[in-house]
Amino acid sequence: MNNKPKIHKYKNQKSLVNRIRDDFKSGDNDFILLYAYNGTGKTRLSMEFKEKGKKRKDLKTEQKRDTLYFNAFTEDLFYWDNDLDGDSFRVLHFRESHFFDGLEELEMESRIREYLHRYADFDFTIDYENKRVTFRRDNDEAFKVSRGEENIFIWCFFLSVARLAIDAKELHEPYSWVEFLYIDDPISSLDDNNAIAVASDLAHLLKEGREKIKAVISSHHGLFFNVMSNELKTQTHKKYFLHYNVDNGYTLRNTDDTPFFHHISMLDALQKASQSGELYAYHFNMLRNVLEKTSTFFGYKDFSDCLHGIEDENLYARALNLLSHGKYSIYEPKEMVTDNKDLFKKILDAFLSKYEFDLPEIH
């Protein structure tokens, strides 16, 4: 399945950042979604976007910035003291940074808990004077959370700050300078269930604040990107596939023209889940979404038209209608029963046998 829309080429990240910012200047976009593989330079791009904001001549002298970002550098603001001598009091320190400006006066713990308790069962205390966080679960005080739990805590910390930035547009709090959010891969070390939850919560926050703050979201995670695309589909936004080649530089391709870049990644994830047998109810949502995009690509009226000519096509169409739901199974994911797993595998295999999915040439 090949399509060859126009490819936009950029020699370096500075020119690429100019293009992204120009998309916002047009006034037609509240969000920009970038899908890119690891190694493309997404983190460096987010920093280049941030640095560009510092060079704006139209900003007030005291502001000198316009972007609140989340990326690998945000995670590096936190580091562990593992108490190697006593082996009992482990704390997560945070460094000096404008990211933490004025948080002590803003009841940060309650703001973070509002998000954290959706994902995790541990609690925490912030010691602002010593710049450290201690965690507790049940009777276990000052224990070290897992890598995934640490990531989700830092993400919830950022979400709380982002919420402050949105509210600050009216309340003149420390984050009133924020005009853009740039969020790069917030889901490292998270399983698919939490990836869906993170995307859903982020999209909800962005939609609430769309009239105050614009956002760029970049990711290599097909499921996360797909959920974001679905959640923001009624908003004014652009979706791009970002590619980098050492000889030819950067290319941007609008995924509305070639809708299969992130969906091929989804199909890969569905195949792996099918082969492993670790199938949950939301996998039917994912599969139906791929069929809907495929039907749009071919100009079909309904996703079930993609199954035309396949043995048991009516059964498969009814199954997808019945077993896919409007809302994702986010907080209580249910594993499929054996019969549904077998049915899912048959539908997926039949679909992949009928269609060949190849990434278009982008070099």
Domain spans of the chain, in order of start: 21-254, 261-354
Nearest to 179 by CA among 52, 15, 19, 43: 52
68 and 175 Cβ atoms separated by less than 8 Å: yes
Distance of alpha carbon 120 from its chain centroid, rounded?
18
Q: Within 10 A of 297 (CB to CB), how many other CB atoms are there?
A: 16
CA distance 67 to 60: 14
CA distance 220 to 242: 10
| CATH architecture of structural domain 21-254 | 3-Layer(aba) Sandwich (3.40)
241 and 35 Cβ atoms separated by less than 8 Å: yes
CA distance 290 to 174: 43
Nearest to 20 by CA among 198, 237, 201: 237
pLDDT in tens, the chain (363 residues): 444 556 789 999 999 999 999 999 877 899 999 988 888 899 999 999 999 999 988 887 667 889 999 999 999 999 999 877 777 788 999 998 888 877 777 888 999 999 998 888 899 999 988 999 999 988 778 888 888 889 889 999 999 999 989 987 666 577 888 999 999 988 766 666 677 788 888 999 999 998 899 999 999 887 788 788 878 888 889 988 888 887 778 988 887 644 455 566 678 778 888 999 988 888 888 888 788 877 766 778 888 888 988 888 889 988 888 887 645 444 456 788 899 999 999 999 998 888 766 534 443
**Cα four-point dihedral sign 347, 348, 350, 356:** positive
| Angle at 178 (CA atoms; ends 167, 217), nearest 5 degrees | 100
Which helix (DSSP H) or strand (DSSP E) does residue 149 occupy? helix 147-171
Does the predicted model carry a pTM greater than 0.85?
A: no
CA distance 222 to 225: 5
Nearest to 227 by CA among 351, 115, 329, 119: 329
